[in-house]
Amino acid sequence: MNTRPYPDQWEFAGRSMLRRRLRPLLAAAIALLLVIPSAGNAGANPAAPASDAHVYLLRGVLNIFSLGLDDIAERLRQQGIPATVSNYIFWSSLADEAAAEYRSGKLKTVILVGHSSGATYLPDMVARLNQLGVPVKLAIGLDSVFHTSLSGRVGRYINLYIANGAGTAVQPTRDLKGTLQNVNVDSVPGIGHISIDKNQYIQQKVIGEIDSIVFSKPATGAQKPTQAEGAVARRGATAPN
């Protein structure tokens, strides 16, 4: 038999005292989280010039394997280029949002980037924006794992894929108006389907291509792998695998 007097009262008093001591620490932690923004939602660098371009980046399945897109978006924001990162399932609503901004005159240059399933649905987003009367200046897909085809009008579509892995080339349709380039990047050291969006060469390639559009300057970046091959298709020409 437990002879300690009123054990429940002692335990209750101990827990109450512990909560009182932890309450200030909890409040401080919450305040810190509110003050420090996450990398995915950080705004543009106030010192950078404003831009009438917007980059929409589509993550892949489960929203946890494409976090390299968040790094790309943050680096773009530091240059004053607005960027939105979202899961691929929201591609249609993002297209509607971009169309509304374009019709209002606030947005003049639409750029798309997608990884994995985000790359798979990139041609659909291009087609949707075409239907809404919004030209896509540049689209960059990173290793789509499903066969896709591209139609409609796009300034330039670059498909970076790993040919010896799960990636596939994008096929042009007859009504394609623009440039489609399939680039096999399987020679990039250490690259894989999960890591392609986080690879420093690929990130610099993507940012360099975007900068060339937004700032009207030649694309710059890491040296191109010697074995990477690009296949270019224009106006419905067949792109080799």
Per-residue pLDDT tens over the stretch 135-157: 999 999 999 989 999 999 999 99
Look at residue 116 and tell me if it is in a domain: yes
Sign of the dihedral defined by the CA atoms of residues 220, 223, 225, 229, in that order: positive
Look at residue 186 and tell me if it is in a domain: yes
Tell me what pLDDT residue 219 has. Answer: 65
Look at residue 111 and tell me if it is in a domain: yes
The CATH number of whichever domain residue 168 belongs to comes to 3.40.50
Tell me what pLDDT residue 224 has. Answer: 52
Asked if the model's pLDDT at residue 240 lies above 50, the reply is: no
Tell me what pLDDT residue 220 has. Answer: 56
Query: 69 - beta bridge partners?
Result: none
Look at residue 131 and tell me if it is in a domain: yes
In terms of pTM, does the model score above 0.85? no
Look at residue 239 and tell me if it is in a domain: no
Residue range(s) defining the domain that contains residue 130: 48-234
Q: What is the mean pLDDT of the chain?
A: 80
Q: How confident is the model at residue 32 (pLDDT cuts 50, 70, 90)?
A: very low
Number of domains the chain is built from = 1
Asked if the model's pLDDT at residue 113 lies above 50, the reply is: yes
* Averaged pLDDT for residues 36-64: 66
**Mind listing the pLDDT tens digit for each residue in 209-229?**
999 999 986 665 555 554 444
* Averaged pLDDT for residues 107-127: 97
Q: Would you tell me how many other CB atoms lie within 10 Å of the CB of residue 87?
A: 17
Asked if the model's pLDDT at residue 126 lies above 50, the reply is: yes
Q: Please report, in angstroms and rounded to a whole number, the separation of the first and last CA atoms in the chain.
A: 80
Look at residue 132 and tell me if it is in a domain: yes
User: Which is more confident, 11 or 109?
Assistant: 109
Asked if the model's pLDDT at residue 234 lies above 70, the reply is: no
What distance in Å separates the CA atoms of residue 137 and residue 156, rounded to the nearest whole number? 6
* Averaged pLDDT for residues 34-40: 35
What distance in Å separates the CA atoms of residue 95 and residue 154, rounded to the nearest whole number? 14
Look at residue 33 and tell me if it is in a domain: no
Cα–Cα distances in angstroms (integers) from residue 79 to residues 125, 175, 180, 202, 211, in the given order: 25, 35, 27, 18, 9
User: Which is more confident, 2 or 191?
Assistant: 191
Query: 158 - beta bridge partners?
Result: 140, 181
Look at residue 31 and tell me if it is in a domain: no
